[in-house]
Chain A
């Protein structure tokens, strides 16, 4: 296998809460090749955002803490990097786009300052040059009248435009990896598609790899090369997007796919929700995290935690039950 851009191994992050230590990311491993788009899918509380923040060491500490594992990016373990080394990587080699464009931009700084800032930090640009480049970047994410918007403040822009500005900011230093944490959740449906298409197009142009964190399997199908499904802080299945849709192996993934409305489904077919509640991270069930809700659970499932195994070529699952 070719040299991977990113290798995450056994990443574990926990938080101190009133209910005790809660493991939000539990022994998560995955690889990412240069230029590849990986979607991390899961419901709220499945640990997908915390995984992303842990990779950049942006977990608020306290209460959060990365307790183990490694995040090897371009041959260097970010978990061992110093604060200064992390600062040199963030926004430069790895950029991040956040969920809430309304609150993720600083209300008292102009777009020019915010979009140009990575260039000043990482490229040693002066502010005049950074402003000019910011105007260029805003044009590239198709903000109309970009050169003038450099002087605009976030409150003068729509949600979609702000998310475009966030993307421009992420692109500033031509990072090798962009992590987009639910980049479209807060936006209108029509704007969502535009933003994702833009993100995909720009990553393709620059050759950057993309980690797309989402709870929307529909998004995954169109934009991701590979998919990783998370449940209860653990990774339960990874496969190529195509393979995952055709042959979902984990009962949770199957449940997710069965609960998506499809236009090509026979009329009258009902959506099948997954019964039960997502697990309380403070009180995880023994064995498999999904076992209490699983329709095909076996005695094994409550006894030991299933490890990720390659069930089909390039298709891993963490489940004891053989999918029929």
Chain B
């Protein structure tokens, strides 16, 4: 188990290096130049030349040199560089924003599972009943409605009709835990329900599949109740592929969080990323991408490890 973990973690390194190269290069290929934006915004064109500004920000060197400087600073000193606009260390920004997005993501995932798994089970055991149709219709509906649309509607219409709108000033968890959770609840529910659609369908399909198995008949034959058959004998076997799916949804979850943060003005990584992209703040963009990459890979590792808990046939060597 430990050997397996070490090997998996070691395998992350080359993947991460490749990802970092791709991220670095694509970000530089974005149309629009940060130098042009700076000069245009600050009207400093007369005092500072383009070349001087470029040199000051270190953008005059060849791209490969820039990459090596950037990656070696991260690997050797944990230094993600500084924002081109504020001169603040990128790592400080990332550390401040990561917990917010993490919290939103965990809450959304919790909502997704709380919605998906019970409805999926109910849909399967009452196959082709009205509750099954209702559950499946709900899942299709949530799959079809984009999160940004629902988020906007939830933001705008209560304000128009009743004059209420969600708090736009972010309440940190440490100041007011309940207020913080309350503030994040709405985006988490919107994000979670749209994620739940696929998970619910997968739960339903797997549950139907498992309920057809011989060992389910054995469970009935020994006098188990419907509840016992489903919870003890079927659910665990049905959840194995569902867990994989949840792992695969991690990038979608993060993408959704970016949008939700923008709509609900939550100062997480998503908001940071959007601001950075609009200002072509390269070190922040690459920093966010790199961190998201690591998180996605770690989630997948976690998913692989969780198989061992669900499926006794899985052994880590």
Contacts and interface: CB of A to CB of B under 8 A. Distances in A.
Interface of A: 56, 58, 84, 87-92, 95-96, 98, 100, 103-110, 114, 117-118, 121-122, 153, 155, 166, 169
A107 B233 CA distance: 9
Contacts of B223: 87-92, 118, 121-122
B137 interface: no
Contacts of A56: 221
Nearest to B236: A108
A97 B236 CA distance: 23
Interface in B204-244: 213-215, 217-225, 228, 232-233, 236-237
Contact of B221 (A95, A100, A105): A95
Contacts of B233: 106, 109
Nearest to B211: A60
**CB-CB nearest 10 A-B residue pairs:** A91-B222, A91-B223, A90-B223, A103-B214, A153-B312, A96-B221, A106-B215, A104-B214, A87-B223, A104-B218
Interface residues on B, range: 20 to 34
A169 B215 contact: no
A106 B219 CA distance: 9
Nearest to B217: A58
Contact of B222 (A84, A90, A107, A110): A90
Interface in B284-317: 310-313
B214 A121 contact: no
A105 B218 contact: yes
A118 B221 CA distance: 10
Nearest to A113: B232
B313 A153 contact: yes
Interface of B: 213-215, 217-225, 228, 232-233, 236-237, 310-313
Max count, chain B CB within 10 A of own CB: residue among A88, A98, A108, A122: A108
Given A87-B223, A100-B214, A166-B218, 6 more contacts: A95-B221, A103-B215, A104-B215, A105-B218, A117-B222, A121-B224
A117 B217 CA distance: 14
A260 B285 CA distance: 79
A87 B226 CA distance: 9
B310 A108 contact: yes
A256 to B, nearest CB: 28
B213 A103 contact: yes
A155 B222 contact: no
A51 to B, nearest CB: 15
Contacts of B237: 106-108
**For A88, A103, A106, A122, which residue has the most chain B Cβ atoms within 10 angstroms?**
A106
A98 B214 contact: yes
A161 to B, nearest CB: 16
B221 A91 contact: yes
Contacts of A121: 222-224, 228
B215 A155 contact: no
B212 to A, nearest CB: 8
Nearest to B313: A155
A90 B310 contact: no
A104 B222 contact: no
Contact of A106 (B218, B220, B221, B225): B218
B312 A105 contact: no
A98 B222 contact: no
Contacts of A118: 222-223
A108 B215 CA distance: 10
A95 B222 contact: yes
10 contacts: A90-B221, A91-B222, A91-B223, A98-B217, A108-B310, A108-B312, A114-B218, A121-B222, A122-B223, A166-B218
Contacts of B218: 96, 98, 104-106, 114, 166, 169
A58 B224 CA distance: 12
Contacts of B313: 107, 153, 155
B224 A87 contact: yes
A78 B75 CA distance: 72
B295 to A, nearest CB: 29
B81 to A, nearest CB: 48
Nearest to A122: B223
Contacts of B220: 58, 90
Contact of B312 (A88, A96, A104, A107): A107
B279 to A, nearest CB: 52
A88 B310 CA distance: 29
Contacts of B215: 103-107
A58 B213 CA distance: 13
B127 to A, nearest CB: 10
A107 B236 CA distance: 10
Nearest to A121: B223
A90 B217 CA distance: 11
